[in-house]
């Protein structure tokens, strides 16, 4: 018996445990006792249940976070000690990397190797990076002149103070990493948190909550309430005891968050959808640009807010690039995330499968040509073939709307003067890609693109030091880097008459 248990992976052991949410340092069921089902998207089968928290649970979690913010070991902790706790969280993520990667692969569907190489180390690195900020959040001393008070003297400075209790609502495409992006800076600034993971992928956030307690985080500093968006999420967004909401997800729900936050004017940051242009010029190194363009859309099965989903290619090389990207698409090995040969897993849920295949059908009806892919793969699980579409344009839903699946629309262009207006012709502005060997062309185009990130001769590069966020309807504010620290602090100006 003992050996049988030993043979199980840590993730399998975690799966067998009764799942509870973390409120005020205690592991609890939802007050009304309901649970929600957790699916393995590769098989379309229920693998676990977690509490379906509701408004009552959110109330308790917000109250715990408020107590922890105002009077606790956390509020009294020195910045240096706070930084050490955050560092330990990063270290413990790395120590438990195999388990976290397996949970992520099982819950979200992404290939285990990708979760192990990208999601988990990036999440750890975010905490390690933010740990250093804990001791480096400070105001300025400001020499002021005060024209209406000649001769008077003042000592003036600013203080940077934590915003307070923060509600964080995160999506299912990078469950652990999105939790890290949000928790890291909130902890570095000394805020306290109620985190609501996506209902599709709650497992890694619950495991991360255990890790955070092991790292020495005092009770109530981070509370994790699992539950549905329309109930737990909406209650959090509207809660008068919350000082700020940080949200990542659909633009549609982002707008609901803003409305919910309007009553008490709580702070809001949003990381929303995208329809990012990826531009290949004829002078680019096509041996780089073709796999680069394929990675830009197919990474994480296209379930990336910054996916390069509109592929603009200069006419002279259009046929070559279209053929090259299509060939790569057709070679991608689609399968369960836990299968070591898999390069692309299933979409996250039956709902997303329906959404993405619905887009593919609408393209077909409107006469958009499918070069490769275009349909569901297999009968079990939520797999969609990597898809390349040709001939879509304004008025086609596949061109205008975020699909959030492995679907790219390729569009030729003739004149490089046309490309900035075309690239910007969307309500979104999250990211953009440029492939060229002409330095002048790249540098001239970068400032013309209305996007929060521009990648040149690369794509999908993320780092804790590099701010990420959107122009236009792709969001408000930035995550990561020094910039995010400002999103979790208020500035207090102090003026002392001498």
Angstrom distance (rounded) from CA 48 to CA 101 = 17
Residue whose CB is less far from ligand NAI, 86 or 296: 296
Question: Taking the C-alpha atoms of 297, 299, 300 and 301 in order, what is their torsion angle to the nearest 10 degrees?
Answer: 50
What tokens were used for 347? 């979409």
Stretch that binds ligand NAI, among 115-123, 150-158, 191-199, 275-283 (CB under 6 A): 191-199
Stretch that binds ligand NAI, among 24-32, 164-172, 326-334, 378-386 (CB under 6 A): 164-172
Angstrom distance (rounded) from CA 385 to CA 214 = 41
In the set 96, 105, 248, 436, which binds ligand NAI (CB under 6 A)?
248
Give Cα separations from 486 to 139, 162, 167, 253 (angstroms): 11, 9, 16, 24
In the region spanning residues 91 to 130, those forming contacts with ligand NAI, defined by CB under 6 A, are none
Angstrom distance (rounded) from CA 485 to CA 479 = 9
What tokens were used for 351? 């709902």
Which of 104, 199, 271, 479 is flagged as catalytic? 271
Angstrom distance (rounded) from CA 72 to CA 63 = 13
What is the nearest approach in angstroms of ligand NAI to the Cβ of residue 159? 32
In the set 184, 185, 233, 292, which binds ligand NAI (CB under 6 A)?
233
Residue whose CB is less far from ligand NAI, 193 or 280: 193
In the set 202, 229, 292, 363, which binds ligand NAI (CB under 6 A)?
229
By CB under 6 A, how many residues form the interface with ligand NAI? 26
What is the nearest approach in angstroms of ligand NAI to the Cβ of residue 430? 8
Name residue, tokens 């990474």. Answer: 299
In the region spanning residues 305 to 364, those forming contacts with ligand NAI, defined by CB under 6 A, are 305, 355
Stretch that binds ligand NAI, among 78-86, 149-157, 166-174, 410-418 (CB under 6 A): 166-174
Angstrom distance (rounded) from CA 364 to CA 361 = 5
Contact yes or no for 308/293 (Cβ under 8 A): yes
Angstrom distance (rounded) from CA 197 to CA 99 = 18
Instruction: Give the DSSP per-residue string, 6-17.
Output: HHS-HHHHHHHS
Stretch that binds ligand NAI, among 56-64, 87-95, 121-129, 224-232 (CB under 6 A): 224-232
42-47, long-range: CB within 8 Å, 24+ apart, which pairs?
42/109, 42/335, 42/336, 42/337, 42/338, 42/345, 42/346, 42/381, 42/383, 43/336, 43/380, 43/381, 44/350, 44/380, 44/381, 44/382, 47/15, 47/106
In the set 96, 173, 269, 409, which binds ligand NAI (CB under 6 A)?
173
In the chain, DSSP finds a helix count (H) and a strand count (E) of: 19, 23
3-state secondary structure of 92: helix
Angstrom distance (rounded) from CA 370 to CA 355 = 17
Angstrom distance (rounded) from CA 199 to CA 209 = 16
In the set 272, 317, 464, 480, which binds ligand NAI (CB under 6 A)?
272
Longest dimension (CA), the chain: 85
Active-site residue flag, 305: yes
Closest-by-Cβ residue to ligand NAI is 229
Contact yes or no for 204/103 (Cβ under 8 A): yes
Residue whose CB is less far from ligand NAI, 86 or 183: 183
273 binds ligand NAI (CB under 6 A): yes
237 binds ligand NAI (CB under 6 A): yes
What tokens were used for 329? 């698409």
Contact yes or no for 104/348 (Cβ under 8 A): no
Which among 281, 291, 301 has a CA at the least distance from the CA of 403? Answer: 301
Which of 102, 191, 199, 305 is flagged as catalytic? 305
171 binds ligand NAI (CB under 6 A): yes
Residue whose CB is less far from ligand NAI, 242 or 257: 257
Residue whose CB is less far from ligand NAI, 190 or 273: 273
Which among 289, 366, 279 has a CA at the least distance from the CA of 323? Answer: 289
Stretch that binds ligand NAI, among 88-96, 218-226, 267-275, 336-344 (CB under 6 A): 267-275
In the set 40, 104, 125, 199, which binds ligand NAI (CB under 6 A)?
199
In the set 48, 54, 314, 402, which binds ligand NAI (CB under 6 A)?
402
Active-site residue flag, 495: no
The contact pattern for ligand NAI, residues 2-41, with x = CB under 6 A and - = no contact, is ----------------------------------------
What is the nearest approach in angstroms of ligand NAI to the Cβ of residue 209? 16
Stretch that binds ligand NAI, among 63-71, 118-126, 196-204, 285-293 (CB under 6 A): 196-204
In the set 175, 184, 249, 363, which binds ligand NAI (CB under 6 A)?
249
In the set 230, 264, 285, 418, which binds ligand NAI (CB under 6 A)?
230
Stretch that binds ligand NAI, among 7-15, 54-62, 168-176, 204-212 (CB under 6 A): 168-176
Question: Which residues of this chain interact with ligand NAI, rule CB under 6 A?
Answer: 169-171, 173, 196, 198-199, 228-230, 233-234, 237, 248-250, 253, 256-257, 271-273, 305, 355, 402, 404
Which amino acids are annotated catalytic?
271, 305
């Amino acid at each position: 018996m003992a050996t049988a248990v030993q043979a199980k992976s840590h993730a399998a052991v975690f799966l067998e445990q009764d799942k509870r949410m973390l409120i005020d340092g205690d592991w609890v069921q939802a007050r009304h006792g309901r649970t929600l089902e957790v699916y393995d998207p590769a098989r379309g089968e229920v693998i676990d249940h977690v509490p379906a928290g509701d408004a009552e649970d959110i109330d308790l979690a917000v109250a715990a976070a408020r107590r922890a913010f105002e009077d606790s070991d956390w509020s009294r902790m020195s910045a240096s000690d706070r930084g050490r706790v955050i560092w330990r969280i990063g270290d413990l993520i790395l120590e438990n990397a195999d388990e976290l990667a397996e949970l992520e692969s099982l819950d979200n569907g992404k290939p285990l190797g990708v979760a192990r190489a990208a999601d988990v180390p990036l999440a750890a690195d975010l905490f390690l990076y933010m740990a250093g900020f804990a001791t480096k959040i400070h105001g300025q001393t400001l020499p002021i002149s005060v024209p209406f008070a000649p001769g008077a003297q003042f000592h003036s400075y600013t203080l940077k103070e934590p915003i307070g209790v923060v509600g964080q609502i995160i999506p299912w495409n990078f469950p652990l990493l999105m939790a890290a992006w949000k928790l890291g800076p909130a902890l570095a600034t000394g805020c306290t948190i109620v985190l609501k993971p996506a209902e599709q992928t709650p497992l890694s956030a619950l495991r991360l909550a255990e890790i955070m307690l092991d790292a020495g985080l005092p009770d109530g500093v981070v509370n994790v309430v699992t539950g549905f968006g329309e109930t737990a999420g909406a209650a959090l967004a509207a809660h008068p005891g919350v000082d700020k909401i940080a949200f990542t997800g659909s633009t549609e729900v982002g707008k609901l968050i803003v409305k919910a936050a309007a009553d008490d004017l709580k702070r809001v940051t949003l990381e929303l959808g995208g329809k990012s242009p990826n531009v290949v010029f004829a002078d680019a190194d096509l041996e780089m640009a073709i796999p680069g363009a394929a990675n830009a859309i197919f990474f994480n099965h296209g379930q990336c807010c910054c996916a390069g989903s509109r592929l603009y290619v200069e006419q002279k090389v259009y046929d070559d690039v279209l053929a090259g990207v299509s060939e790569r698409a057709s070679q991608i090995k689609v399968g369960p995330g836990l299968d070591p040969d898999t390069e692309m897993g299933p979409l996250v849920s039956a709902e997303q499968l329906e959404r993405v295949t619905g887009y593919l059908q609408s393209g077909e009806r409107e006469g958009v040509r499918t070069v490769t892919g275009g349909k569901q793969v297999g009968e079990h699980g939520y797999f969609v073939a990597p898809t390349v579409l040709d001939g879509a344009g304004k008025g086609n839903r596949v061109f205008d709307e975020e699909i959030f699946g492995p679907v790219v629309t390729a569009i030729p262009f003739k004149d490089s003067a046309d490309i900035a207006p075309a690239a910007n012709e969307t309500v979104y502005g999250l990211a953009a890609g440029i492939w060229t060997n002409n330095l002048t062309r790249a540098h001239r185009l970068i400032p013309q693109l209305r996007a929060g990130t521009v990648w040149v001769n690369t794509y999908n590069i993320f780092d804790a030091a590099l701010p990420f966020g959107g122009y236009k309807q792709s969001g408000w504010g930035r995550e990561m880097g020094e910039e995010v620290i400002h999103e979790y602090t208020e500035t207090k100006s102090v003026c002392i008459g001498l």
